[in-house]
Structure 1
Amino acid sequence: MTEKVLILGGRGRIGSSVAQDLINHTQAEITVTGRFPVAQTPVSSPFGERLQFLMLDLAEVDKLKKAIAQSDLVIHCAGPFHYRDTNVLQSCIEQGVNYVDVSDHRSYTSKALSYHEQAATAGVTAVINTGIFPGISNSMVRQGIEQFEQPEKIHLSYLVSGSGGAGVTVMRTTFLGLQHPFEAWINNQWQSVKPYTDREIINFPSPYGRSGVYWFDMPETFTLPHAFPAVKTVVTKFGSVPDFYNHLTWITAHIFPKWLMQRHGMIEFLSYVSHSMTNVTNSFSGIGVVVRAEITGEKAGKKVIYCATLVYANTALASGCGTGSIAQFLLEGKLQKPGVWPVEEVLPTELFMQAMQSRKIEINETWLDK
């Protein structure tokens, strides 16, 4: 019997990238949802009846529950997740349907993880924080951690060119992430960190080279210490290309009045202006992403540094690959672990490597003496 997949928010850039990945790597029938009618779905029609569109607002609770009940897997791509409740996850648990999302904010991650026991009891495998970062980045960390006898520090650096091929929602996520200080695991204790501080120049692979990154609040800032309790420090930093976007973001985070940045109208204004600007600069900056996962620790009796890097030409498509691979393994029955899990706690490295190879995503690994 053909599996049925429901992608909430499937008309957006990320959701349509997930749909495209599933078309390429599974035989599932896919329904993508959106709040407004469209003549054609973002993933084109040569796939025929494998791809359908359903007009659905998440506030339409009865219609949502009916759509979930008719599915074998639900993929939640309707961000930004700062605003989201856990109604979709709860409905999946109640109806025994596996769940995946592209959530990228600790408030939602914390709420979702609180349903771990209910999901486990219901036999539902729910995997959160999939995508590129968080998502593929977390699995890169796990792959490195497993090679140490005593891992001590994780340093994640992300760089996105222009819009990353994503829509306005990703811009909203960035500006919402600048509003409040957050807790980071530093030297075996939780410390408060201000977003977009402590600029650090990282030597990324070509074509990026030396670029600046800043502290940024990500779910992996607190899920990685839980997954790997021996680690003493977890650093998560983010930057943009061209570099002048970093300076504009810094001004937004540190010069604009806090009360102004917490207004919905201001977030919408900044998001649309930023998206318009990146539509211009995309032509020379590209829309790619680079992820750099550096782990310091002890291996074979000496202190060493492991560094893994990934470069991909389209950030949104990379996110689709990350989420799509998790969905593929769930549909194939290769990923069965009831409960609610961040990706680094549920996806074995062997499966992760299979997913990257099948999608022609190359991860380069190097070792350095400390």
Structure 2
Amino acid sequence: MSNVLIIGAGGVGQVVAHKCAQRRDIFSEITLASRTKAKCDAIAAQLGGSITTAQVDADNVPELVALIKQVQPKLVINVALPYQDLHIMDACLETGVDYLDTANYEPLDTAKFEYSWQWAYQERFRNAGIMALLGSGFDPGVTNVYTALAAKKYLDVVEEIDIIDANAGSHGQPFATNFNPEINIREVTAVCRHWENGAFQESPPLSTKRVFDFPEGIGPMNIYRLYHEEMESLVKHIPTIKKAQFWMTFSDNYLKHLEVLQNVGMTRIDEVEYNGQKIVPIQFLKALLPDPGSLGPLTKGKTCIGVIARGIKDGKKKQVYIYNICDHEACYREVQSQAISYTTGVPAVVGAIMMLTKQWHAPGVWNMEQFDPEVFLKELGPMGLPEVVVEGEWPEL
């Protein structure tokens, strides 16, 4: 049994705290810390006060170091903002503690989703004898594991992957994002990149659209191609991949609002001057939009996230579709959060279990696809996110 420190008390942090508390066989002591201790205390109250809470500024390395030394965890689970990844990694290096996150580092002033900054820590983590597991959410995270499973079990050679993410749920709000609005809008409005012909190819945001018929009653939905960071690590670690694309569903209503907000400058990430003060428009917009955590009791429907992998098996062309279906209302009943937070938080806990039980453990900085996918999925299903595997033909995108 191990002591763990969770940093971040948003929707994902709430799920992580709940799911860690369900596995006391692994997590003997749980500390939840955030800039706003009241958020941690509210989550602790949901759990009957069975976890400890603390206040910490995740931008302040000395504060992080002091807290880690006080708590003495075996592992730090970072579910704070992506801007804070490097600060928390620095604190883990200084204290000699393993590290896990769910999203790659992103500079505050540039919408640039890539692993280069964190991969640069490889030698320092290896020399310190500690491990960093990057992107242990769903996408990135489980989608990496699904791709690794396809490569290990279903295909001799993986040549193409399509990662497809559908939120078929509805919260009834005119416009809202299901996770941090700032990160969500940055991601969607960024230049699209996909992997083809040995390099990333660029296209305008949301300019490539398809219709995909989702399984288990969800049915046909519009999907749009955008860049997502797991493609960067997958094409590096599975070099047989010739083409990699990421697709996500967006409603017409969401896209209409987003277009207007972009046109009037509300999605800008640079500072503007207003009444003698400097503000960042997207940060102001975030303050106006519904808190994603408030959407839990309102959201109905399902998510479907999966990977279609195409390649060669026994000398023949073959395709496999590996996916998960998650129900918003069932998630809320269990952990008082909707499925977007649930599908990110549960894999973070399973990644932590892999590390603490040493089923996945080596000094250095690692991505999910670099470890055995089957031991991870053996834990993930019973924790609430079972996979479905469909072999054979599937409609081409």
Give the letter aligned to residue 86 of structure 1. L
Question: 1:125-171, CA deviations, whole angstroms, 9 ceiling, x for partnerless residues?
Answer: 1101111211112111111122212211010011223479x987522
Name the counterpart of 1:4: 3
Q: How does 1:133-212 map to 2 (within 5 A)?
A: 133-146=139-152, 147-160=154-167, 161-162=169-170, 170-181=180-191, 183-212=193-222
Name the counterpart of 1:44: 45
Change beyond 3 A, Cα 1:211–1:279: farther
Give the letter aligned to residue 245 of structure 1. Y
Please say if residues 114 and 232 of structure 2, whose CA atoms lie closer than 8 Å, have aligned partners that are also in contact.
Answer: no
Structure 2 unaligned blocks of 5 or more: 107-111, 272-278, 328-338
Q: How does 1:48-197 map to 2 (within 5 A)?
A: 48=49, 50-69=50-69, 70-79=72-81, 81=82, 83-84=83-84, 86-104=86-104, 107=113, 109-146=115-152, 147-160=154-167, 161-162=169-170, 170-181=180-191, 183-197=193-207
Name the counterpart of 2:373: 349
TM-superposed CA distance for 1:89, in Å, is 0.6
1:340 aligns to 2:377 (yes or no): no
Please say if residues 213 and 239 of structure 1, whose CA atoms lie closer than 8 Å, have aligned partners that are also in contact.
Answer: yes
Q: How does 1:275-286 map to 2 (within 5 A)?
A: 275=290, 283=298, 286=300
Identity of aligned residues (%): 21
Give the letter aligned to residue 95 of structure 2. Q
TM-superposed CA distance for 1:183, in Å, is 4.0
State how far apart, in whole Å, the 2-side matches of 1:299 and 1:219 are: 27
Deviates more, 1:269-278 or 1:313-322: 269-278
Give the letter aligned to residue 4 of structure 2. V
1:265 aligns to 2:265 (yes or no): no
1:13 aligns to 2:27 (yes or no): no
Change beyond 3 A, Cα 1:246–1:28: farther
TM-superposed CA distance for 1:210, in Å, is 0.8
Please say if residues 303 and 369 of structure 1, whose CA atoms lie closer than 8 Å, have aligned partners that are also in contact.
Answer: no
TM-superposed CA distance for 1:27, in Å, is 3.2
Name the counterpart of 1:230: 240
Question: 1:202-239, CA deviations, whole angstroms, 9 ceiling, x for partnerless residues?
Answer: 11123421111212221112111011100101101122
State how far apart, in whole Å, the 2-side matches of 1:42 and 1:341 are: 30
State how far apart, in whole Å, the 2-side matches of 1:52 and 1:306 are: 43
State how far apart, in whole Å, the 1-side matches of 2:134 and 2:146 are: 16
State how far apart, in whole Å, the 1-side matches of 2:292 and 2:342 are: 21
TM-superposed CA distance for 1:59, in Å, is 3.4
Question: 1:49-87, CA deviations, whole angstroms, 9 ceiling, x for partnerless residues?
Answer: x411101112333221022232211011111x1x33512
Please say if residues 61 and 90 of structure 2, whose CA atoms lie closer than 8 Å, have aligned partners that are also in contact.
Answer: no
State how far apart, in whole Å, the 2-side matches of 1:251 and 1:336 are: 47
Question: 1:75-109, CA deviations, whole angstroms, 9 ceiling, x for partnerless residues?
Answer: 11111x1x335121122123221100111556463
TM-superposed CA distance for 1:17, in Å, is 0.7
Give the letter aligned to residue 112 of structure 1. Q
Secondary structure of the residue aligned to 1:21 is helix
Please say if residues 141 and 368 of structure 2, whose CA atoms lie closer than 8 Å, have aligned partners that are also in contact.
Answer: yes
Please say if residues 92 and 98 of structure 1, whose CA atoms lie closer than 8 Å, have aligned partners that are also in contact.
Answer: yes
Question: 1:248-300, CA deviations, whole angstroms, 9 ceiling, x for partnerless residues?
Answer: 345656x55598464563213443555379968974x6264211210111112
Structure 1 unaligned blocks of 5 or more: none
State how far apart, in whole Å, the 2-side matches of 1:153 and 1:338 are: 30
User: CA RMSD, aligned part only?
Assistant: 2.9
Give the letter aligned to residue 366 of structure 2. W
Q: How high is the TM-score relative to the length of structure 2?
A: 0.81
State how far apart, in whole Å, the 1-side matches of 2:294 and 2:301 are: 10
Give the letter aligned to residue 129 of structure 1. G
Give the letter aligned to residue 17 of structure 2. A
Q: 2:343 aligns with which of 306, 315, 318?
A: 318
- Identify the structure with bigger relative contact order (alpha carbons < 8 Å, sequence gap 6+): 1
State how far apart, in whole Å, the 2-side matches of 1:73 and 1:277 are: 27
Secondary structure of the residue aligned to 1:14 is helix
Name the counterpart of 1:328: 353
State how far apart, in whole Å, the 1-side matches of 2:286 and 2:215 are: 29
Give the letter aligned to residue 140 of structure 1. Y
TM-superposed CA distance for 1:365, in Å, is 1.2
Give the letter aligned to residue 18 of structure 2. Q
1:368 aligns to 2:383 (yes or no): no
Change beyond 3 A, Cα 1:139–1:249: farther
Deviates more, 1:222-231 or 1:173-182: 173-182
State how far apart, in whole Å, the 1-side matches of 2:344 and 2:363 are: 24
Please say if residues 3 and 74 of structure 2, whose CA atoms lie closer than 8 Å, have aligned partners that are also in contact.
Answer: yes
Q: Size of the alignment, in residue pairs?
A: 360
Please say if residues 320 and 389 of structure 2, whose CA atoms lie closer than 8 Å, have aligned partners that are also in contact.
Answer: yes
Name the counterpart of 2:20: 22
Please say if residues 78 and 85 of structure 2, whose CA atoms lie closer than 8 Å, have aligned partners that are also in contact.
Answer: no
